[in-house]
Amino acid sequence: MHSERHEELVSLAALGLPLEDDAAEYARLLEEPCPECARLLPELRFAASSLAATVPPRRPRPSLRDDLLASLGPARRPDSRRAPVAGWAFAAAAAVLFVLIALDDARLRRQREELRARNFELAQAVETSRSDLARRDLRARVLESDDVRMLFLGGKGPQPNARAKVFWSERAKRGVLVAGNLAPLAPDRQYQLWVFVDGKPVDAGVFDADPSGRALFESKDLAAIRTAENFAVTVEPRGGLPQPSGPIVLLGSPSG
Amino acid sequence: MNPRAEPADRDQSDRVLVAAMEARDADALARLYDRHAARLLGVAYRILGETGEAEEVVQEVFLHAWKGASSFDPFRGTVLAWLIIATRSRAIDRLRTRRPMVTSDAAGRDPLAQVAAGDDVEAGSAAREWETLCRAAIADLPADQRRALELAYFDGLTHQEIAGRTATPLGTVKTRIRLGLMKLRERMRPYWEERDA
């Protein structure tokens, strides 16, 4: 339980007021093991933000929005589609490849092999781009669904600092998982998402984390399940298993 | 669905957008901007009293939200409150670097740029519900507590400056701030209970 003095100091801090002579006392209060006290600062900041409701909104100049989006950089715009570029490159490479084969020259044959490799890479790039677009469409469908719900998953066992959110659309029977602080895995391992139905885990798909420990993953189509009760992530052999065998690293928190 | 899961409540849609921003979806940022930019510009303008600088603050805040989407914690408040806190903090920082400040009386008088609360943003009923709750909570505050909070929140005055401006003992100013904020916190409790349920 916090004292009035504590409330006073935290109130000043919540408004960003300089504590000056009270700073040392406030620092000592922060060090006290008091979960309720720790919550007070964000709660008072939130309470103070209600003052903003008394201010009339103002319409920004229209170009401000464009300036903001432009400042993100073209690589981050969702409309930047690589597929057409890759498609042109694919076509050009194929045409070049055709000419080279016709000449049947030793040097050109060597180049032909190189172009074949490049061709393969480009074909893969096209496929990846198509797949990215499909995944983006899927994400949009799940995230924009009006019945989407969010569940928090906390770190467990070997990865206590891992965290994740699952956005689940009961109607679409699909979920989108956004995770962070995931540990790197051995090449033969993958993370596997499980949906709990009637207390039993159902495979929702496998995914990898990026080098920074983040992951964005769309679940399988789980049309056959009745309803999702909870979610968990385990570490499994690459490709996943029908039933979990590895340690649970992320788990939702069902209340009783 | 798990009871721990968030209900499709007032700012669920905002949180979905923030999650999409975390996944680097710029469309989500654009939609969040469309919903809340006018509200945030109103706050920044109320503090700074100058449109160009207020717009710079709003742009900074949305960039901050884009880069720091993963830092948003829904158990510490709504997305709108998160954006408002960032806006107010940046605007106050600017205000304090350019004292003497624009007085609060000068702010908010340009009717050309103002828009009605109900038709400006696409926040819809959720934002209006929040706005109604906040306004009711603030209207219930005693005038001296409200004045102390406004001078600190919008004018960036320290408690010592508020004491000087209102000719009130410093201890009384601190008490007014504490009581005012604690009452607002109590009135906003439905948000906490919803998240802690």
Instruction: Give which of A202, A210, A183 is closest to A240, Cα–Cα.
Output: A202
User: pLDDT tens digits, residue range A211-228?
Assistant: 888 888 888 888 888 888
Contacts of B74 in chain A (CB under 8 A): 150
Lowest-confidence segment of B45-49, B124-128, B134-138, B141-145 by average pLDDT: B124-128
The pLDDT-based confidence of B134 (bands split at 50, 70, 90) is: confident
Q: Poorest-confidence range of A33-42, A118-127, A187-196, B46-55?
A: A118-127
Per-residue pLDDT for A91 more than 60?
A: no
Q: Which residue has the higher pLDDT, B136 or A95?
A: B136
Confidence of residue A255 (pLDDT cuts 50, 70, 90): very low
Closest CA to B43 of A67, A62, A42, A49: A49
Q: Does A72 sit within 8 Å of B152, measured CB to CB? A: no
Q: Name which of B118, B125, B117, B121 is nearest B9 in CA terms.
A: B125
Range 69-88 of B in CB contact (< 8 A) with A: 70, 73-74, 76-78, 80-81, 84-85, 87-88
Contact between A57 and B39 using a beta-carbon 8 Å cutoff: yes
pLDDT value for A115: 73
What CA–CA distance (Å, rounded) separates A178 from A182?
11
* Least Cα separation, residue B8 to chain A (angstroms): 6
Cα–Cα dist A246/A186, whole Å: 13
Contacts with B, A 83-112, CB within 8 Å: none
CB contact, 8 Å: A4 with chain B?
yes
pLDDT at B84 over 60: yes
ipTM: 0.80
pLDDT for the residue numbered A24: 82
- Confidence tier at A201 by pLDDT (50, 70, 90): very high
**Mean pLDDT over each residue of chain B, to the nearest integer:** 78
Closest residue of chain B to A59, computed from CA coordinates: B38
Residue B146: pLDDT band (50, 70, 90) is very high
Q: Is A184 on the interface with B (CB under 8 A)?
A: no
- When CB atoms are compared, the residue of B34, B84, B191 closest to A52 is B84
The one-character DSSP state at B71 is G
